[in-house]
Amino acid sequence: MVDIGHAVHYSAVRPGMPVYSSDGAEVGRVEAILDNYREHIFDGVVFVDGGGELRFADAPEVERTAEHGVVLSIEAEKAQRLGPPERGHPKFKPSRRSGRLGRLGRLFGGGWKRH
């Protein structure tokens, strides 16, 4: 196994770091780390494989994030079959009507509009 240093918080992982499978093979390079920012929950890692394809490893498939790379909990063969990440999350903007909704309307999400 390759020495990737000490464990670090997922937010310290940077694009370009290597991604290794559980059997020690380098399967790609980190493109992005995804998280649920509001709840501070790690969602997974997007990486570019050797063929230039984007792959997404969900949080349970990530064993360790470290100073010099990421280790998956799956073998290289399975890592190469991972699908691409889903399209971006919906975007929300403040609704222009929100001032007329009152407190109860804003409480139930009336102050935001999905785009």
**Residue in 40, 48, 50 with CA at minimum distance from that of residue 15:** 48
Burial 38-58 (b: 16+ CB within 10 A, else e): eeeebbbbbbbbeeeeebbbe
- pTM as predicted: 0.72
Tens-place pLDDT, residues 20-76? 999 999 999 999 999 887 778 899 999 999 999 999 999 999 999 999 999 999 999
Region(s) of the chain under CATH 2.30.30.240: 1-84
> Contact at 8 Å (CB) between 38 and 51?
no
CATH class of 1-84: mainly beta
Structure confidence at residue 55 (pLDDT): 95
Q: Name the β-bridge partners of 54.
A: 48
User: Residue 102's pLDDT band (boundaries 50, 70, 90)?
Assistant: low
Cβ neighbours around 75 below 10 Å, total = 14
